[in-house]
Structure 1
Amino acid sequence: MTFRLHMEQAVLRTLADFPRELASEIYAVTFRIDSVDQDPRFPYLAIGYNTETEAARALAQGGGSEPWESRWHYAHFPPSGLEGIRVVGHDPAHDPVGAGLHRSEAMARGLWYEDEDADTGDDPEGSLSEEEQDERGEQLTEQFSELCVDLARQLHTDGRLVGIFGRPLPVILYDMFDPEAMFATTRAANPPELVTEFLSEDPEGQPLG
């Protein structure tokens, strides 16, 4: 099994585990992209959701916070939206199968490195400079983010979200490696009509002047 197929199957299992009694209340699926100990070798995806009731509660308790913030910003999400209900990817504690697949494929691509591979200054043969490790980490981060965007996009093209919830829902992506990228990744992952409200606060989409 490939890492991508493992992730795809895990996403579908997780969506099927969302509480059926909340199906009409759920207005967004959430994908939180993060990594274990902020190490780019160990990226994971926390899959969750938010509900109309939770958004209303956040707004009421926000002390004047803006409606957009309460509804769409991860800082106001309940655990079901921020922490998710399942973690998948290269997280040995939560997804040992995914961790093994991701490591194997990273090794096959020449992107994996161990801590002992670092150049200690003695210039041993085969050691990696800090810059080389950073470059590999950046590639691993980029590839995982692209995979998460593609998985979200596939939920739309395959009709999975409509099949589960009876209607299309946006998938909101929050990349904890790069929080400012949430607008770009969410735009790339969804039909435009589903994320109009979310993208209304995108600085890149605001008129100048």
Structure 2
Amino acid sequence: MDKENIIKHYCAKAERAVRRMSRKGIGDIYAISFWKDNVDDDPRRPVVTIGYNTVSHAEAQKQNTSNAMEAKWNYAYWMQDDTGTLGGNDTMLRLYFKDEGLFYTLHELNKAEKQEENGNPEGYRMIEEKDRRMQEAFMDIVIEVANRLHRNEMITRALGRDLPVIIHELEYYDQPVGWTAKANPTPLVAEFMEWYRSFAK
């Protein structure tokens, strides 16, 4: 599976997800969420769930947070109204991992775990390295998808203006914040980055 093909496939899925937002008739969407997770905690099945938040919802959540910036940028207080996914139980992604020599079977995992229990950790270390590389490869694709949404002005066409794509997990720390920084023109994420720096000191 060629990387460019899977990027194009995910761009099309992301575009459909953004268009679903536009059909909801909501005029105050200010940010798009790419929530990164793994299906059933399986590193071979990384997934991004696409959603959004609105100014009115953030305003209503201020009473539940320490300040307005937290209500606006912390996903825990977002609407979490999902409009699409990338990855997960996706045949194209699995084929891509296989072609890159990263995929492994549950049999191979169980064998490596038993070897580790018997004092031979090398096989399990190889599995862990594959896990790391799969996550990294998937996020490289996701970041490129977000960049193309901006470059192709797809968000602008669907929602009337370009909006930041916040790539995140449930917790905020340097790695996912770095994903967001790479995925957006700097001015779009300036306020988000300011909020993150305010509590990451």
TM-score range normalised by the length of the shorter chain? 0.7 to 0.9
Aligned residues: 190
Aligned AA (1:150) = E
Bigger share in helix: 2
**Distance (whole Å) between structure 2 residues aligned to residue 161 and residue 136 of structure 1:** 34
Aligned AA (1:29) = I
**Distance (whole Å) between structure 1 residues aligned to residue 198 and residue 177 of structure 2:** 9
Higher relative contact order (CA 8 A, sep 6+): 2
Uncovered stretches (5+) of structure 1, i.e. residues with no partner? 92-98, 123-127
User: Given the alignment, which residue of 119, 124, 137 partners 1:130?
Assistant: 124
Q: 2:31 aligned with 1:28, yes or no? A: yes
**Distance (whole Å) between structure 2 residues aligned to residue 166 and residue 38 of structure 1:** 36
Deviations 1:81-109 (A, max 9, x none): xxx22223122xxxxxxx11111111111
| Conserved? CA contact 2:70–2:195, under 8 Å | no
**Distance (whole Å) between structure 1 residues aligned to residue 178 and residue 199 of structure 2:** 10
Q: 2:73 aligned with 1:43, yes or no? A: no
| Conserved? CA contact 2:22–2:158, under 8 Å | no
Give 3-state SS (helix, strand or coil) of 1:79's partner: coil
**Distance (whole Å) between structure 1 residues aligned to residue 85 and residue 151 of structure 2:** 23
**Distance (whole Å) between structure 2 residues aligned to residue 157 and residue 204 of structure 1:** 29
Q: 2:192 aligned with 1:202, yes or no? A: no
Alignment of 1:114-153 (within 5 A): 114-117=105-108, 118-119=111-112, 120-121=114-115, 129-153=123-147
**Distance (whole Å) between structure 1 residues aligned to residue 47 and residue 177 of structure 2:** 19
Q: Quote the RMSD (CA, aligned, Å).
A: 2.4
TM-score w.r.t. the length of structure 2 is 0.85
Q: CA deviation at 1:19?
A: 4.3
| Conserved? CA contact 1:199–1:205, under 8 Å | no
Determine the structure 2 residue equivalent to 1:86.
84
Deviations 1:100-128 (A, max 9, x none): 11111111111000111132339xxxxx7
| Conserved? CA contact 2:37–2:46, under 8 Å | yes
After superposition, the Cα gap between the structure-2 partners of 1:149 and 1:175, relative to the gap in structure 1 and judged at 3 Å, is: farther
Determine the structure 2 residue equivalent to 1:75.
76
Aligned AA (1:50) = N
**Distance (whole Å) between structure 2 residues aligned to residue 190 and residue 100 of structure 1:** 28
Determine the structure 2 residue equivalent to 1:184.
178
After superposition, the Cα gap between the structure-2 partners of 1:186 and 1:121, relative to the gap in structure 1 and judged at 3 Å, is: closer
Aligned AA (1:159) = E
